[in-house]
Structure 1
Amino acid sequence: MDNSPDLPGCSYLNPERTLGEIQINLLECKVCFEPFNFQQRGRRPQNLSCGHVLCLECITALSHPLLGKLECPFCRQLCSVDSTSPCQALNDLQELVLSRRPSSPDRPRRTSGLTCAALQLQTSFGGWGTLVNPTGIAALGTSGTLVIVHDGEKRVVVFNLLGRKLHSFGKKGKAVGEICYPMDVAVTPAGYVVVTDPGDRAVKVFTSRGNHLITIKDFLQLPWGVDTHISGHLLVSDAQAGVLFRIKVDYTQRVVVESQKAISDLQCPRAVACCRVTGNTAVMEHPTDITERRPYRRLRVFTKDFHLLYQTDSFSLTLQSTVQLNMSAVIFDEDRDVIVADPDQGLIWSLGKLKNGPVLAPLVGNHLIRPVGLVLLNDMLITLDGGDHTVKIFSNKLD
């Protein structure tokens, strides 16, 4: 009998799954995503002087041909190629994993009609260089186009579902049409791209091709999360003011028609999501007056008129699970269930409709490092993983 103290009703951290996670998260290069191979010179793992590990081929590709130095893609420390050394620990770990790897993994047990890691990874794309510390993701209609904000030289990148980069815009800076530090992104029904820029204390609106329309900043202190209400208004959380703003924009005239404090008693609100079916709004709070070391998050759900329906928090959710549940990104699915990302555990959870209390069900338990953004599109759950700077697409297909 498996008594692993992890996800309710399934063996997320049983030995077989743990070996699989080791292979994915430790035994592959996080730049090219190729498995380390000690038999192939270019795929051998090498220690940089900063402590991070890359394959020899990526070190060669990233280093300056004359200076013999490279900037670590993870901590940005300048490292000398001559100071790299073989990572013997990973060599030993790989031999151990290969010797313990079972020929046929156990079938996952079921819980409440869902299998542990019920959604399967279909594809992933991005990686360091293509994406740099991404923080927000949104879908451009139902065509399969994804809009992502990150810390690259051009802050907004547009991809198709195959991972092909279509175009990018929003040069780094504070001038008109530039973005200082993007945090979140939303797309309006008309296809306008809305970016929160706490670095410039502003919300910036662009066309889908990247033409700047308007910058909103007069009443904002630290804009963070953004989504569109079913009325067409923008919903913007202000982490410093503790307010959720409801903003009406005339995109043709490029002016703010109306701005209201929809909710004004929030504590450091960040992620925000609106249900396309009911108009209910979910807001993720990060209270700052908690003295406990573990992260404390509070999730509140409001009606379309912004009356409180129900709330839960990370402490209450942890009591229902054997993991210390954290929460970051939040969305609603087509059945009005609330879905949250857990960046600490690398998990995606469904909380149900929360009306009679949360019902925890794991949706994704593999292949994620630090999920920071979620999108539902055409029966696919698309996750933005800040841990390895990738987009990962999950579905319940078996192929």
Structure 2
Amino acid sequence: RSVGLGTLREIQISLLECKVCFELFNSQQRERRPQNLSCGHVLCLECVTALSHPVLRKLECPFCRQLCSADGTSHCQVLSDLQQLLLSRSPSSSTPRPPPLCRTKGGPSSSTGLRLRSVFGGWGTLVNPTGIAVLGPSGAVVVVHDGAKRVAVFSQQGRKLNSFGQRGKAVGDICYPVDVAVSPAGCVVVTDAGDKAVKVFTSRGSHVVTVRDSFQLPWGVDTNSGGHILVSDVQAGMLSLLKVDYGQGVVLERRTAVSDLRCPRAVACCRATGNTAVMEHLAEEHQHRRLKVFSQDFQLLHQVDGFSLSLQSSVRLNMSGVAFGGDGDVVLTDSDQGLVCSLGKLQSDPALMPLVGNHLVRPVGLVVLNDTFIVLDGGDHTVKIYSA
């Protein structure tokens, strides 16, 4: 029985690649052979060697943190057999290939030349991450997740610089973070669905101000070039604008920018144009999403939904996150296909252009810095950085 392309891609991502280096297992190459650790997890031989203490010959499993012996690993024959079986059904291919990324109205899209540059995080370092932002000129990556300290700050090389936001309900604590943004002045803004508040911190983690009693369920957040905070409220169906004096820790203004939205979640502000994008979830059971783009004074400029985009492509796009490129292009993540796509500036019919389609499992957040794409992957709890 033939195996569908979608099934092949799912097998490749879930089973046939090492979740440390994201290279495909290959029994014909010694360093890529899948190895069973004593805890039951599987890594390639090269990663087992790299993670092992050179003298003690022990390593901590990157997934469950159990201490394992490097000399006690064994070849995972099951995965080798599975790979051989798939290859025998696809003789023209050296590896099981994922389905084509997308097809625009002009035909197959071309490669953009974006390549995976670095990966960091992983289970334990990040626990079910949900939001990502970049901190000022340093380019430090800020992630909110379900760890004991809800906000984690990394260098783009993956070194952990700081963490704050203790789990709890005291002032300065965070219950259930959903999204994060960074103001032009370098303050970190977190939406907390646990106590229905928006919380602002300095980049070092000192609490600045908490805004509550104004939201039913705050979700997506971003800041514009003036430092104003834009927050989507899923239950209220609105987009709110907050003006904050970050130095004094006081809210100067809170008003409704857009009302009559349907389950608005992801929010992105374009620092270049002043436009704001909001992702609506129209029908969760059918994964029906609609993207609306508003002008600086919150007049509707464009809207497009996943169904109309699917008419132009070979896949049904499940929009999960949105960001703006430096020139105002709208960029989307697709959590089902493991894609990052561009819609251009939406001034005419949107042209779906795949940008990244390798090594992504379930992208949930995105930051675009010039020709660098920083993607938060909720599927394997990592941050992945792509560049030209």
Q: TM-score range by the shorter chain?
A: 0.7 to 0.9
Percent identical among aligned pairs is: 61
Query: What's the counterpart of residue 92 of structure 1?
Result: 81
Query: What's the counterpart of residue 301 of structure 1?
Result: 293
> Which of residues 122, 126, 129 in structure 2 aligns to 1:127?
122
Residues 178/34 of structure 1: CA separation in 2 closer, same or farther (3 Å cut): farther
User: Is 2:347 aligned against 1:355?
Assistant: yes
**SS of alignment partner, residue 358 of structure 1:** coil
1:35-184 alignment, distance < 5 Å: 44-45=35-36, 53-55=41-43, 88-96=77-85, 102=94, 115-116=110-111, 118-184=113-179
For 1:347 and 1:282, the matched residues in 2 are separated by: 19
For 1:268 and 1:110, the matched residues in 2 are separated by: 29
**Shift of residue 286 of structure 1?**
0.6
Unpaired segments ≥5 residues, structure 2: 52-59, 65-73
- Does the 8 Å contact 2:117/2:385 carry over to 1? yes
User: Is 2:244 aligned against 1:253?
Assistant: no
Query: What's the counterpart of residue 328 of structure 1?
Result: 320
**Shift of residue 384 of structure 1?**
0.6
Query: What's the counterpart of residue 210 of structure 1?
Result: 205
**Shift of residue 170 of structure 1?**
0.6
Segment drifting more, 302-311 vs 224-233: 224-233
> Which of residues 365, 372, 377 in structure 2 aligns to 1:380?
372
Residues 56/14 of structure 1: CA separation in 2 closer, same or farther (3 Å cut): closer
For 2:26 and 2:346, the matched residues in 1 are separated by: 47
For 1:119 and 1:33, the matched residues in 2 are separated by: 16
**Shift of residue 270 of structure 1?**
0.4
Query: What's the counterpart of residue 337 of structure 2?
Result: 345
**Shift of residue 26 of structure 1?**
2.1
**SS of alignment partner, residue 82 of structure 2:** helix
> Which of residues 238, 244, 263 in structure 2 aligns to 1:243?
238
**Shift of residue 193 of structure 1?**
0.4
Residues 71/268 of structure 1: CA separation in 2 closer, same or farther (3 Å cut): farther
For 1:266 and 1:14, the matched residues in 2 are separated by: 33
Query: What's the counterpart of residue 80 of structure 1?
Result: none
**SS of alignment partner, residue 319 of structure 2:** coil
**SS of alignment partner, residue 251 of structure 2:** strand
User: Is 2:192 aligned against 1:197?
Assistant: yes
Amino acid at match of 2:226: S
Residues 109/71 of structure 1: CA separation in 2 closer, same or farther (3 Å cut): closer
> Which of residues 16, 34, 37 in structure 2 aligns to 1:27?
16
Amino acid at match of 1:253: Q
- What TM-score, normalized by structure 1, do the two folds share? 0.79
**Shift of residue 87 of structure 1?**
5.9
**SS of alignment partner, residue 30 of structure 1:** coil
Aligned residues: 356
- Does the 8 Å contact 2:268/2:278 carry over to 1? yes
**Shift of residue 46 of structure 1?**
6.6
User: Is 2:305 aligned against 1:313?
Assistant: yes
Amino acid at match of 1:188: S
Residues 395/33 of structure 1: CA separation in 2 closer, same or farther (3 Å cut): closer
Amino acid at match of 2:79: L
Residues 119/36 of structure 1: CA separation in 2 closer, same or farther (3 Å cut): closer
**Shift of residue 261 of structure 1?**
0.4
Unpaired segments ≥5 residues, structure 1: 1-5, 7-12, 62-69, 75-84
Amino acid at match of 1:269: P
- Does the 8 Å contact 1:204/1:215 carry over to 2? yes
For 1:232 and 1:109, the matched residues in 2 are separated by: 36
For 2:44 and 2:367, the matched residues in 1 are separated by: 35
**Shift of residue 280 of structure 1?**
0.7
**Shift of residue 365 of structure 1?**
1.4
